[in-house]
A and B are shown apart, each in its own frame.
Chain A
Amino acid sequence: MSLNGWLQIFLFIATVLLLAKPMGSYLTRVFERRKTFLDPVLVPCERLLYRMTGVKPEEEMRWTEYAVAMLIFSAATMVLTYIIERLQHILPLNPQHLSAVEPVLALNTAISFTTNTNWQSYAPESTMSYLTQMVGLATHNFWSAAVGMALAMAFVRGIARRETKTLGNFWVDLTRGTLWVLLPISIVFSLALVSQGVVQNLKPYDTAKLVQPQQVTGSDGKATIVTTQTIAQGPVASQEAIKMLGTNGGGFFNANSAHPFENPTPLSNFLEMLSIFLLPAGLAISLGQMVGSPKHGWAVLAAMVVLWFAGTTICYWAESQPNPMLHGVNQHISLTQSGGNMEGKEVRFGIANSALFATVTTDASCGAVNSMHDSFMPLGGMVPMANILLGEVVFGGVGAGLYGMLVFVVMAVFIAGLMVGRTPEYLGKKIEAYDVQMAMLYLLIFPFIILGFSAVTVLMPNLGLSSLANHGPHGLSEILYAYTSATGNNGSAFAGLNANTHWYNYSLGIAMFFGRFMMIVPMLAIAGNLAGKKIVPASAGTFPVTTPLFTMLLTGVILIIGALTFFPALSLGPILEHLLLRAGHAF
C-alpha cells in the first residue's frame, strides 16, 4: 500500500461526501415536486408525457397499486428489449451486420437490463448492434435506475407520512427521476467523458494493420497468422455515463471500464467511480430531509461510509501483498515495481484504483469493472463478493441501496427494541409483527436464491461444472459469485465461467428476476404499512436513530446477518483458497 494510493482513496470519499448534500437537497426538491432550476424546460415535457400516456399526476397509489404499476412497466420494457434483440438483423444501425441474438441469451439479457443487473453472458461488440445497445439496453439503464429511485422515494414517504394508505404515484416518480435527475447529469457526464477520449460515433468498426503479425491457434488446433485487428467503435460515451450514474454496469465493450475507449484516463476513472456513489449518497441525505430528521440521513450515510472503508482497506491490503507463489521475486513497491498483484489490472489505474473501483462497484449494484476480479488475490476477490452478499446496502444501487438499507434499519430498530424490552419505534412509527415478517422475507429470499442455485449448480457436472475454467475453491467462488452478482442485481462477473449456456442463461435470469422483484414487494409492503401508522411522540425510552450508537448498531446488524448467512460458503471458496495459496497450491 502506498501513501499516494491512500490519498487518492481519501480524495474520492471526500468528494462523495462534499457532493452528497447538494445532490440530496436537489433530489428532495424533485420528488417533493418543488421548484427547481430545470422546471422551465422540463415541466412542459413532463406535462406532454402525462397527456400522451393518460397519467393523472395528482392520483396517489396504495403500495399494491404502486407495485403492480412497477411490474407492468418492467414487463412491457422487458418485452420491448427482447423484440429488438431478436430483430436486430433487420433493424437499422447495424453496420457490422450482426445476426439476431439467440433466444435464450436475448431473454437473459432482457431480464438483466430490466432488473438493473446488466449481467452480460456475451461480448457486446460482437453480439449487439448499435440500435440494440442504444434503444434496447441504454434505455433500461435510465428506466431501471429511475424505478429504483421511485421505489426508494415510496419507502421514504411511507416513513414520513402518517395515517394514509398511499405512497405517491409511480408514473410521476419514474418520469421526474428520469427527466430531472438522470438525463441532465448523464448529458454533462457524457461530455466530460468525451473530453477524456471516450468515443461517440455510429461508424463501422475500424481495421488496423498489426505492426507485428501474430500467430494464433484456433479451437480446431490450426495455427494462423493474424495481420489485422478490428477496433470496435460506437456511441460509447452516452451509454457509459448512465451505465455508471444509474449503477447499471453493463459495458459497451466486453472489457467494460478496463477498455481504453470506455475509461481512458485516471480522471475518467475517478469520475466514473464518483458517479456510482453520487445518487446513492444523495438519496441518504434526501431520506433525512424528507422524514424531517437530517441527522438520521447522515447517520445512515455514516454506516455506509464505515462499511465502504472496511471493504476498501481489506481489498487494497490483499492486492498489495506479494504473491507467495513467486519465490525469490522482489515484489516490494518501488519505481519499477507496483508492489503487489497486477494480474488482470490496467497499468494506468494501478492497484489502489483497481481495488477502490472493485469495492465501489460492488458496494453499489453497479457491476462495471476496471480490473478482472477473478485475478485478484483470494481475499481481495472475496471483498467484491462479500459486498454484494451484504445486500448492496453500502451506498447501494440507485434507490435499491437506500430501500435495502432501510429494511436493515427496521431490523436494527427491532433488535434494539428487543434488547431493552419495549415495542420498537422508527421515527415515531411502531415496528410491529407484519413489518418484521416482511423484513425477514426480504432478507431470507436473497440467500435462498444465491445458495440454492449455487448448490444445485455444483452438483451438476455436465451443466454447471463444465463451464468452469478453474476448479477447487476458486471454481466454487466463480459459481458463487455468478449467482451472487445476479441475485444482487450487480452484474459484475468474476470471469472464468462460461455463462452463455442454456443452464446459466435460464438460472441466472431467474435469479436476477427474483432478486429484484421478490425483494421489492415485501419492501413496499413495509412502506405501505408504515404509511398507515400514527406517529408516537418520542419519550425517554425511544431509541434515537441519529447518533453514532445507531450507526454502530446498524453496521453491526448488517455484518452479523451477512456473516451468519454466508460465512460457510465463503470459507469453502476464497478463504480456503487463501489458506491453500499460502501452502503453495494455486487453482
Chain B
Amino acid sequence: MLDLVASLSSLLLFALAVLYVQGCDRLKGTRS
C-alpha cells in the first residue's frame, strides 16, 4: 500500500513540475 502511495506521490510531483515548466513558459507571453 505504501509503495503505491510512494509511486503515486512521485508521479504527481513530476507531473506538477512539467506543468510548472509550461506555466513559466506561458508567463512570458503575458508580459506587456
Contact = CB atoms under 8 A, between A and B. Distances in A.
Contacts of A525: 24-25, 27-28
B10 A75 contact: yes
B3 A86 contact: yes
A525 B6 CA distance: 29
B18 A434 contact: no
A441 B23 CA distance: 12
Interface in B1-32: 2-3, 5-7, 9-10, 13-14, 17-18, 20-22, 24-25, 27-28, 31-32
A440 to B, nearest CB: 12
A103 B9 CA distance: 12
A586 interface: no
Interface in A510-544: 510, 513, 517-518, 521-522, 525, 529
Given A64-B21, A71-B18, A521-B20, A103 B3 contact: yes
B19 to A, nearest CB: 10
A64 B5 CA distance: 29
Contacts of B9: 107
A444 to B, nearest CB: 14
Contacts of A495: none
A347 interface: no
Measured as residues with beta carbon below 8 angstroms from the partner, the interface class of chain A is: 20 to 34
Contacts of B6: 82, 103-104, 106-107
A79 to B, nearest CB: 7
A434 B31 contact: yes
Contacts of A103: 2-3, 5-6
B14 A71 contact: yes
A186 to B, nearest CB: 28
A437 B3 CA distance: 38
Interface of A: 63-64, 67-68, 71, 74-75, 78-79, 82, 86, 103-104, 106-107, 110-111, 432-434, 437-438, 441, 510, 513, 517-518, 521-522, 525, 529
Interface of B: 2-3, 5-7, 9-10, 13-14, 17-18, 20-22, 24-25, 27-28, 31-32
